[in-house]
Amino acid sequence: MALSIKPEVLFNAGNFEVTNSFISYIFIILFTSFIYILISKKISIYPKSKLGLGVEIIIESLKKTCEDVVGTKITKEIFTFIFSFFVLILFSNLFGLMPFTGSIGIAHPKDESKSVSLGSVYVIELQETSHNEEKNKFEIIPFFRSPSADLNFTVSMGIITFLLIQITALKHAKIEYLKKFFDLRVPIYKGIKIIFTPIMFVINLFWRLLETVLELSKLISFSFRLFGSIFAGEVLLFVITSLTLGIGTLLIFPIEIFVSFIQAFVFIFLTLVFIKVGIDTHH
Amino acid sequence: MEELKYIAIALAIGLGTLGPGIGLGLTASKAVEALGRNPEVENKIRTLMILGMGLIEVLAIFALVIAFLIAFVL
């Protein structure tokens, strides 16, 4: 495995570059759909199977968190979205920790000028062409890569979440929410002279501008938080493995699983908090 | 130039984690303090602490992304 921020392109379908993270994403979608269908077939008022009970516990606890933050009314509207995002992000994070991810792939000649590859590459030869010494001149393009370690995935997640926050806040706070960004009226207080009105106007303008920037920065922080922590985890695992021959990896793996859960939870929890903040604008 | 690149990576991640480290320590210590005062709201404190830590952690992750960019892209 060579470290790269860009996902590797496996093949081209017309103008569309099929990357390894895209293929992993399709696998995750199929897997989660399969689980959903399996559970929905067996659904009953009193859960009978262990799987049904476990899923019910997760849904109930997430729903309780959701109701604590935004209230019952809005929970009914957005809970489907919140839960499916939680599952999708959790599975994409955990997919990066699977044994086959990033280690099995196509070998191709190494680009010596910008190589940072550590560890060794085992090449299964389909044709008896390369000699033993030449095997170190190859690097691997893996078939699978965690979607969360691809910036395209996390940015699209961030954009959808950002739109959800804006639309929900607009729907419930209506004109009050827009006033937060576009209200340029200067408040008139007693005791402040009329000469200061232009200064107040400039301050007000600057304040509204800052509010807009603050709103847009949510998009960046959402996407880079997920990408940064998961990609850093993969790099950490890679470096530790090549330094300690796999013993240190045993210590890092539980931390990485914990981080996967925390990041998925933080993503949806921040969505809920930002929705709450957007609705409660009374100034 | 190659040596300077390594120094830049180390400085980016080293200085970048300094502030968030202090922030995370303060968050955890205040959360434990609050827990000592009123242990009955443990769940609420934990969720809020994780939220705050998530917000602080982004800063360190930004520095990390910059370090990655210098290491792998530039």
- A chain contacts of residue B6, beta-carbon cutoff 8 Å: none
Q: Verify whether the Cβ–Cβ distance A5 to B47 is below 8 Å.
A: no
CA distances in angstroms from B21 to B18, B26, B43, listed in the order given: 5, 9, 24
- Check the CA dihedral A39-A42-A45-A46 and report its sign: negative
Q: Given this model, what pLDDT does residue A155 score? A: 93
* CA separation for the pair A232, A234 (Å, rounded): 5
Residue-wise burial string across A206-230, b where 16 or more C-beta atoms lie within 10 A, e elsewhere? eebeeeeeebeebbebbbbbbbbbb
In degrees to the nearest 10, what's the CA dihedral of A158, A159, A162, A164? -110
DSSP codes, A106-149: EEEE--GGG----S------SSTT--SGGGGGEEEEES---GGG
What kind and span of H or E run contains A258? helix A247-279
Q: Which amino acid appears at position A151 of this protein?
A: L
Chain B contacts to A (CB-CB under 8 A): 47, 50-51, 54-55, 57-58, 61-62, 64-65, 68-69, 71-73
Contacts with A164 (C-beta within 8 Å, 6 or more apart), sequence order: A78, A81, A271, A275
Q: Verify whether the Cβ–Cβ distance B58 to A224 is below 8 Å.
A: yes
Q: Given this model, what pLDDT does residue A131 score? A: 54
- Closest to A32 measured CA to CA, from A147, A200, A177: A147
pLDDT single digits (tens) B32-73? 999 999 989 888 888 888 888 888 888 888 888 888 888 777
Which residue in A116, A265, A269 is closest to B72 by CB distance? A116
A230 CA: distance to closest CA in chain B (Å): 10
Q: Given this model, what pLDDT does residue A1 score? A: 47
CA distances in angstroms from A244 to A222, A239, A250, A260, listed in the order given: 33, 9, 10, 23
Q: What angle do CA A194, A198, A200 make, to 5 degrees?
A: 85
Spell out the per-residue pLDDT of chain A, length 283, in tens.
Answer: 456 777 888 888 888 888 888 999 999 999 999 988 888 887 777 767 787 788 888 899 999 989 988 888 989 989 999 999 999 999 999 998 888 887 787 777 766 554 444 445 555 555 555 555 555 566 778 888 889 988 899 999 999 999 999 999 999 888 888 888 888 777 777 777 777 788 888 888 898 899 899 889 889 888 888 998 888 888 888 888 877 877 888 888 898 898 899 889 989 998 998 898 888 876 5
DSSP codes, A195-240: GGHHHHHHHHHHHHHHHHHHHHHHHHHHHHHHHHHHHHHHHHHHHH
* CA separation for the pair A283, A222 (Å, rounded): 26
Q: Which amino acid appears at position A92 of this protein?
A: S
- ipTM comes to 0.75
In degrees to the nearest 10, what's the CA dihedral of A35, A40, A46, A47? -10
A253 CA: distance to closest CA in chain B (Å): 19
Q: Verify whether the Cβ–Cβ distance A228 to B73 is below 8 Å.
A: no
